[in-house]
Amino acid sequence: MKKLLGPLVIIIVIIAVFAAILVPSYNGFVNGEEDVNQAYAQVENQLQRRMDLIPNLVNTVKGFASHEKEVLSNIADARSKLAGANTPAEQAAANDQLSGALSRLLVVVENYPALKADANFRQLMDELAGTENRLSVARQDYNEVVSNYNKKVKRMPGSIVASVFGFDQKEYFKADPNAKEAPVVDFNGDGK
C-alpha cells in the first residue's frame, strides 16, 4: 500500500499543477472571448445607430423640403387663382387663399430664418460625422480586443489550452474594399 501511495501522490500533484495552470488559462480564454463578443456588440450597436439615423434624418430633411414645397406650391396656386379670378367674389376668395399661404410662408421663414433647410443639412452632416466617429472608435476597440485575444491563442501555454478547448482566433474588423469611396447621400431622389 505504501508503494502505491508515493506514485499516487505524485500523480495528484501533477494533476493539481496542470489544473492550476489550466483553469486560469481556460478562464482567461472565456473572459477574452466574452470581451471580443462585447466589443463586437458595440460595433453592431453603432452600425444599427447609423442604419436608423441616416434614413430618419434624410426623411426629416425631405419632410422639411416638402413642407417648403407645399407652402410655395400653395402660394403659386393661390396666385394663379387670383390671376384667373373674374368676379370680385372669386378675387376675394383667391386673395384670402393667397394671404393664408403667404402667412404660412412667413411662419416658416420666422421659425427657420436663412433657409432652415441648410441647418437641417448641417445637422444631418454633424450626426453622420458623429456616428462615423463612434463607429470608428467601436471598430478600433474591437480590433484591439481581438488582437489581445489572438495573442493569447497563439502564445504558450495558451495555444495548447486553446486547441484542446476549441478557442479559435477571431477575425479583425476590416474595411470593405469599397470603403475608399465616399458614400453618396442623395437628397434629390434622382441619383444625380
Residue 111, helix vs strand vs coil? helix
What does the radius of gyration of the chain's CA atoms come to, in whole angstroms? 33
Q: What are the grid coordinates assigned to 147, written together?
A: 488582437
Give me the DSSP letters along 181-192. SPPP--SSSS--
Query: Closest by alpha carbon to 35, among 174, 150, 162, 154?
Result: 150
Give the count of beta carbons closer than 10 Å to the beta carbon of residue 124: 19
Contact 88, 65 (CB under 8 A): no
Contact 143, 169 (CB under 8 A): no
- Nearest in space to 53 (alpha carbons), one of 118, 129, 119: 129
Per-residue pLDDT of the chain (192 residues), as tens digits, is 677 888 889 999 999 998 888 889 899 999 999 999 999 888 888 777 776 766 666 666 556 556 667 776 777 787 778 778 776 667 667 767 766 776 676 565 555 544 455 566 667 768 778 887 887 898 899 999 999 999 999 998 889 889 999 999 998 877 666 655 655 545 454 544
Angstrom distance (rounded) from CA 161 to CA 184: 47
